């Protein structure tokens, strides 16, 4: 099934794409790859310099699924951290060599995958002339949300910076990828918006996180991670409810019934962050939600001000750094 992934629906008809599926133009390929992956630098590594790229894509919830090849050997590096995406690259043709931080590499052949969170670490991969990739682009925020919902906490960079291979012939991960491709074939236009797409998105993320954490030596089910003290949960609830009021951290600690020092230490130990960073994330997420659901005539400044942002320049920089786009782009979309 993976050989034909994203090409045909369950009735054998070609899955309609909203973009070109073949190109020899670097600029055209670059524009497409920036949209579905993130900005990165790519260069030929052999004698052939003109690409013959195939490009297919689909959405599963908030995950972008792509079938992609350059048609010539290339090296890719400098993936944008600002785009805030993780990628899982599954080789379904040829070979790929994924660089590790220690100077080694993981080589992937048919059915083997590699995961890297480009929002937290650099990444360099080389593809041979026959390469063909079936890739998942997953927003880092989605992975954090799934961790919080399923495991009760959000891991720190010990997990997110770890790069590793996974899957392979007969693995549960490869079987899951085959199932995902069959779901897309049966309903190629529905999985982006229907609840079934969100359920499938969650299944993919939970499976990926367990596989990833296991290879990183990180136990997501360790109760020391999930059982955050009552004061942390109370502080999170207070900040979520009063995000627009910009409470001070002293007010948050008082509402949680503890000292600011103790609250800060509890957040550091059990959440891997600080109370102020949690509040900042709450405000940015609320602004993004309101921009996405804005009524006609509402402006970025109006929505940002409702969540306590006064300086437009500071807000725009913080928003772009967090979500990889200008708030005006979110509003237009």
The dihedral over CA atoms of 274, 276, 277, 282, expressed in degrees to the nearest 10, equals: 130
* Nearest residue to 331 via CA among 299, 286, 285: 299
Q: Which helix (H) or strand (E) holds 27?
A: helix 26-36
Q: Return phi, psi of residue 71, to 5°.
A: 85, -5
Q: What's the fold here for domain 2-216?
A: Jelly Rolls (2.60.120)
- Provide the residue-wise pLDDT of the chain in tens; the chain has 333 residues: 688 899 999 899 999 998 999 999 999 999 999 999 999 999 999 888 999 999 999 999 999 999 999 999 999 999 999 999 999 999 999 999 999 988 899 999 999 999 999 999 999 999 999 999 999 999 999 999 898 888 877 887 889 999 999 999 999 999 999 999 999 999 888 898 888 899 999 999 999 999 999 999 988 877 666 656 788 889 999 999 999 999 999 999 999 999 999 899 989 888 888 999 999 999 999 999 899 888 888 899 999 999 988 888 889 999 999 988 899 998 887
> What phi, psi does 92 have (nearest 5°)?
-120, 10
Supply angle C-alpha 207, 237, 234, rounded to 5.
100
In whole angstroms, give the CA distance from residue 298 to residue 296: 6
Of 268, 275, 276, 280, the closest CA to residue 308 belongs to 280
Q: What's residue 228's pLDDT?
A: 63
Round to whole Å and give the CA distance between 175 and 64.
19
Quick one: 209 exposed, middle or buried, by C-beta within 10 A (0-12, 13-18, 19+)? buried
Strands of the chain (E only): list them.
22-23, 41-44, 53-60, 63-69, 74-77, 85-93, 96-99, 105-108, 112-117, 125-127, 132-139, 164-167
pLDDT for 103 equals 86
Please state whether the predicted TM-score (pTM) of the whole model is above 0.75.
no
Residues facing 107 on adjacent strands? 97
Rg (CA), the chain: 21
- The answer as to CATH 3.40.1670.10 being correct for domain 230-332 is no
Please state, in angstroms and rounded to a whole number, the distance separating the CA atoms of residues 137 and 33: 11
Please choose, from the candidates 95, 7, 9, 11, the residue with its C-alpha nearest in 3D space to the C-alpha of residue 55: 7
Residue 53: alpha-carbon gap to chain centroid:
24
Phi, psi torsion values for 104, nearest 5 degrees? -80, -170
Reading across the β-sheet that carries 41-44, which strands appear in turn? 41-44, 74-77, 125-127, 96-99, 105-108
**Domain residue spans of the chain:** 2-216, 230-332
What lies within 8 Å, CB to CB, of 146 at 6+ separation is 202, 205, 206, 209
């Amino acid at each position: 099934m993976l050989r034909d992934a994203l090409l045909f629906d369950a009735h054998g008809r070609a899955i309609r794409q909203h973009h070109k599926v073949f190109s020899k133009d670097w600029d055209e390929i670059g524009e497409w790859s920036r949209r579905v992956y993130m900005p990165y630098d790519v260069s030929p590594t052999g004698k052939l310099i003109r690409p013959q790229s195939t490009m297919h894509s689909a959405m599963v919830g908030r995950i972008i699924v792509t079938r992609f090849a350059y048609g010539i050997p290339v090296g890719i590096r400098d993936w944008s951290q600002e785009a805030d995406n993780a990628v899982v690259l599954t080789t379904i043709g040829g070979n790929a060599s994924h660089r590790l931080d220690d100077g080694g590499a993981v080589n992937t052949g048919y059915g083997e995958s590699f995961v890297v969170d480009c929002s937290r670490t650099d990444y360099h991969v080389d593809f041979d002339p026959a390469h063909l990739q079936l890739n998942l682009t997953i927003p880092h925020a989605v992975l954090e949300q799934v961790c919080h919902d399923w495991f009760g906490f959000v891991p720190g960079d010990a997990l997110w910076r770890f790069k590793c291979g996974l899957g392979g012939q007969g693995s549960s991960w490869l079987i899951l990828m085959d199932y995902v491709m069959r779901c897309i074939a049966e309903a190629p236009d529905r999985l982006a918006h229907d609840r079934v797409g969100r359920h499938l998105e969650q299944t993919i993320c939970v499976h990926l996180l367990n596989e990833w954490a296991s290879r990183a030596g990180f136990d997501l089910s360790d109760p020391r991670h999930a059982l955050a003290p009552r004061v942390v949960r109370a502080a999170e609830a207070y900040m979520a409810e009063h995000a627009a009021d910009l409470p001070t951290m002293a007010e948050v600690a008082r509402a949680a019934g503890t000292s600011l020092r103790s609250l800060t230490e509890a957040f550091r130990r059990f959440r891997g962050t600080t109370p102020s960073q949690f509040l900042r994330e709450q405000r940015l997420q609320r602004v993004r939600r309101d921009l996405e659901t804005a009524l006609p005539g509402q402006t970025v400044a109006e929505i940002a001000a409702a969540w306590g942002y006064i300086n437009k320049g500071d807000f725009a920089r913080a928003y772009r750094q967090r979500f990889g786009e200008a708030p005006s782009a979110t509003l237009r979309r």
